[in-house]
Chains A and B, each alone.
Chain A
Amino acid sequence: MSRRAIGAVLAAAAALGLLAACSEKPQTNAQGVKFDAVPWSGTGTEANTGTVFTAPGWKVGDKTAWQQQIKTRMNGQNEYTKEN
């Protein structure tokens, strides 16, 4: 192999190594803007499971139960229902 060819191979290898540092993760996703999972699916590692931080009193995965839970918390902000 000629010196010129060896030089070209080395230059290509060096360029490949340098350009590798320029790579980055894709900034878009397949469907464009993502859509979130429904909130009643919980925060557990598996679907429809909760964690120790999940508020007690509702069944994770049940939309109606979640809505009722949130409604209860919302009405908890109304102290007129407690004091008057």
Chain B
Amino acid sequence: MARMKFVCDAERCIECNGCVTACKNENEVPWGVNRRRVVTLNDGVPGEKSISVACMHCSDAPCMAVCPVQCFYRTDEGVVLHDKDVCIGCGYCSYACPFGAPQFPTQGTFGARGKMDKCTFCAGGPEANGSEAEFEKYGRNRLAEGKLPACAEMCSTKALLAGDGDVVADIFRTRVLHRGKGAEVWGWGTAYGSQQAGNPPVNGVKQ
């Protein structure tokens, strides 16, 4: 198996926020923390597009690179997870992440910033699989139940795809071939610093 990835198809996302709700419910994410959210660009303008964003479980994760206490680890399935017992809540990962995935609870002992919380690809954390401690800190471990993340499985239009990068890419490719557009995976260029930022390539070349 390759690496677990998310991809959101902007041609299909209808901004229903079903993925956000599914994530919140499945993992009992506290108030103020959004592991997943839907971002809409040009809201209200004809041609507006939305994408669902959370941790992308980067293959070369910047959060992992900057963490001063090395609380991050990557599973064999390519899921980037972290150990909340090691996290000091410094926020470096938040500055490093291009997707704004790391979240910090605003309530609790230290008020302004607690330990980092982020999407786990519904793979729990370092505690024993399915344990109460794992659920309390990281949420449900759906992967160990033989399921995919709740956000993707809940997506009504199947805009949000989750799973092995190869399989997800195959599904997306099939769609593009059938509908004849939307191959550029709109929106992700913005996150990765591309000047193209969702615009069509100029003379066939991405900026």
Q: Which chain A residues have a beta carbon within 8 Å of chain B's beta carbons?
A: 25, 27-29, 32-45, 50-51, 53-55, 57-58, 60, 66-67, 69-71, 73-75, 77-80, 84
Contacts and interface: CB of A to CB of B under 8 A. Distances in A.
Contacts, number: 112
Contacts of B129: 36-37, 39, 41-43
Interface in B71-129: 71-73, 75-77, 81, 83, 85-86, 88, 123-126, 128-129
Interface residues of B, number: 41
B86 A28 contact: yes
A36 B163 contact: no
Interface centre among A58, A60, A74, A80, by most B CB within 10 Å? A74
B144 A80 contact: no
B207 interface: no
Q: What DSSP secondary structure best describes chain A's contact surface?
A: loop
B13 interface: no
Interface of B: 1, 70-73, 75-77, 81, 83, 85-86, 88, 123-126, 128-130, 141, 143-148, 152-153, 158, 161-164, 167-168, 170-171, 174-175, 178
Counting from the closest, the 6 A-B pairs by CB-CB distance are A43-B130, A34-B126, A74-B163, A55-B146, A39-B143, A78-B171
